[in-house]
C-alpha cells in the first residue's frame, strides 16, 4: 500500500535562519527559530565558507529536499548562499535540534545548546 505524497504548506511567510559570521571569540551562534505559520524556512549562510546542516528528525517537519522519505535531512549550504526547506502541510509538533558544521571555524555552531527549531 503506497503512502500519500508529502505536501508542503501552500501559504505563509518564509522564515529565515541566518548562520552568522563568527564573533570575536571565534564562535558562530544561531538563535532559536519558531515555525509558527511559516510555509518554508530559508537557511542563509553568512559565514564566508561552507556550512553543512544536519536535522536528525527534520523529515517530521520539512518536505525532504530530494523527496526520498527519511527522518534525517542533510544539506550543504555553500558560502554566501541560501537553502530553503518547505514546511510539511501537517508537521509534527516538537523541538528539532540540529547541527551546523561551519568550515569558517572548523567546528559546530552554537545556540540554545544545539540550535533548535520549534514547531508550532
- Tens of pLDDT, residues 34-73: 999 999 999 999 999 999 999 999 999 999 887 666 789 9
> Do 47 and 82 touch, CB atoms closer than 8 A?
no
Q: What integer pLDDT is reported at residue 98 of this predicted model?
A: 93
Confidence of residue 8 (pLDDT cuts 50, 70, 90): confident
The Cα angle at residue 12 between residues 11 and 17, in degrees rounded to 5: 135
Strand partners, 108: 101
Give the rounded percent of residues in the chain with a pLDDT score beyond 70.
91
Determine the average pLDDT of the residues in 100-107: 96
* Domain architecture of the chain: domains with CATH: 14-119 (2.60.40)
pTM across the whole model: 0.87
Confidence of residue 116 (pLDDT cuts 50, 70, 90): confident
Amino acid at each position: 500500500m503506497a503512502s500519500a505524497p508529502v505536501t508542503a504548506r501552500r501559504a505563509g511567510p518564509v522564515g529565515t535562519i541566518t548562520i552568522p559570521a563568527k564573533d570575536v571569540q571565534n564562535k558562530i551562534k544561531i538563535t532559536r527559530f519558531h515555525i509558527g505559520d511559516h510555509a518554508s524556512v530559508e537557511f542563509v549562510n553568512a559565514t564566508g565558507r561552507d556550512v553543512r546542516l544536519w536535522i536528525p528528525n527534520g523529515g517530521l517537519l520539512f518536505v525532504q529536499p530530494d523527496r526520498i522519505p527519511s527522518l534525517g535531512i542533510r544539506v550543504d549550504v555553500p558560502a554566501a548562499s541560501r537553502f530553503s526547506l518547505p514546511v510539511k502541510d501537517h508537521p509534527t509538533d516538537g523541538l528539532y535540534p540540529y547541527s551546523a558544521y561551519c568550515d569558517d571555524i572548523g567546528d559546530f555552531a552554537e545556540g540554545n545548546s544545539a540550535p533548535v527549531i520549534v514547531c508550532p
